[in-house]
A and B are shown apart, each in its own frame.
Chain A
Amino acid sequence: MIVLALAAMPFLARGLNALALGEATAGHLGIPVQRLKYTAIIGASAAVGASVAVSGGIGFVGIVVPHLLRLAIGPDNRYLLPASALLGACLLLLADAVARTIVAPAELPIGIVTAIAGAPSFLWILLRKRGVLDL
């Protein structure tokens, strides 16, 4: 399921870029907007569903990583989608290592580690966007 979603990414990226101009304009460019939206939403839901089935719910990964990366490499989905997948996976590995070692021999729920790192990052992105913070 996850592999299928990954394989679909390159085909969706350009259409998603066009969608940034609005649905009408994307349509004028020849993008089948409704089909693209359904494919993207169903694909993302299936991939997330499969991951959650394996690992349980882990918060703050999906909500923080793409936003952080957009600041770093720009909004072009051809690069943003694969980069988000890679950085998301790296962060989870790191969080898992921390969760297993920090209170060894006991084990911390990994969601707590991602929340401790993710919540402040998300707050930072939000405040920056609103112009409250300039860091």
Chain B
Amino acid sequence: MIEARDVSVAIGGKRIVANVDFDMRPGEIAAIVGPNGSGKTTFLRALSGDLAYSGAVTINGRDLSAMKLVEAAMLRAVLPQATTLSFPFTVREIVRLGLLVGRSGALPGEDERLPERALARVDLDGFAGRFYQELSGGEQQRVQLARVLCQVWAPVLDGKPRYLFFDEPVSSLDIKHQLIIMNIARDFARRGGGVVAILHDLNLTAMYSDRIFVMHRGRLAATGSPQDVLSDDLIEKVFDCRLRVGVLPAGDMPFVLPQSVY
């Protein structure tokens, strides 16, 4: 369970996030959507413990501000938007860094093989010996995801759920790998963990998320299930462009069809 009450974040005297309430339960994928500069990343950084905030955040009932780095590292893993390196590390060396905390939750003795298994899950079989800097942007993003998966391999550890924080996990990926990554998120949630993901693709959001948090100018504009939140009026207002929200004939999943800017 993650609970955030009245969270505000100011950077350099400017309020980037204002009075945001956020709740999610294990078993869920919570999506954060909103236009560029609406405070999504800043909010996620506060949730990750990177930024000072006002208000209260608890993860599994523990106050985030009182948590040690190692305790937080055992509880959640964070995938940043993009990571560039200045030294020629191999893919294996990068993925292995996910095991630094030493609480992957895999069976005893299996940690040694986790990097290879994590790489296979993100469809990077056989990439372990390659140099990170020589990969494409989408491949680098998937290497980072493999590292993050190693850190919290078991979605539940000692009976407590663990969490994945994703900042635009699929923005540099082709459509097949977007689905692979979102399926990994869904699988992690189904097995008892929780996923918080900043997403830009509203259709992927509708397909995969259980709860959507719409941010607009640093505030929470709406929250609820995809069916509740994805409406013409709200999405047009928040994203400032014309679009149409429909419902797929099979099932009640909404989809968003962009039309034009005003």
- Contact with B72, one of A21, A30, A75 (Cβ below 8 angstroms): A30
The verdict on B93 contacting chain A, using a C-beta distance below 8 Å, is yes
> Is the pair B87, A75 in contact by a Cβ cutoff of 8 Å?
yes
Pick the interface stretch among A12-20, A43-51, A98-106, A118-126.
A12-20
Given A24-B50, A25-B78, list of 17 further CB < 8 A pairs?
A14-B100, A18-B100, A22-B83, A25-B80, A27-B50, A28-B76, A28-B78, A29-B100, A29-B101, A30-B69, A30-B73, A30-B74, A30-B100, A32-B69, A70-B88, A74-B89, A75-B93
Query: Which positions 1-37 of chain A face chain B at CB distance < 8 Å?
Result: 14, 17-18, 20-22, 24-25, 27-32
Q: Which 3 A-B pairs have the closest CB atoms?
A: A30-B73, A75-B87, A30-B70
* Contact partners of A76 in chain B: CB under 8 A: 89, 93
* Contact partners of A70 in chain B: CB under 8 A: 87-88
Q: A-contacting residues of B (Cβ < 8 Å)? A: 45, 48-50, 69-70, 72-74, 76-78, 80, 83, 85-90, 93-94, 97-98, 100-101, 151
Q: Which residue in chain A gives the minimum CB-CB distance to B89?
A: A75
Q: Which residue in chain A gives the minimum CB-CB distance to B73?
A: A30
28 A-B pairs in the complex with CB atoms less than 8 angstroms apart: A14-B100, A17-B89, A17-B97, A18-B97, A20-B86, A20-B87, A20-B89, A21-B83, A21-B94, A21-B97, A22-B80, A22-B83, A24-B45, A24-B50, A24-B78, A25-B78, A27-B69, A28-B48, A28-B73, A28-B77, A29-B97, A29-B100, A29-B151, A30-B101, A31-B100, A70-B87, A74-B89, A74-B90
Prevailing SS type, chain B contact patch: mixed
* Contact partners of B94 in chain A: CB under 8 A: 21
Tell me the count of chain A residues lying within 8 A, CB to CB, of chain B.
18
Prevailing SS type, chain A contact patch: loop
Interchain CA distance A22-B82 in the complex, whole Å: 11
Q: Which residue in chain A gives the minimum CB-CB distance to B80?
A: A25
- Contact with B73, one of A14, A17, A29, A75 (Cβ below 8 angstroms): A29
* Contact partners of A17 in chain B: CB under 8 A: 89, 93, 97
* Contact partners of A32 in chain B: CB under 8 A: 69
* Contact partners of B98 in chain A: CB under 8 A: 29
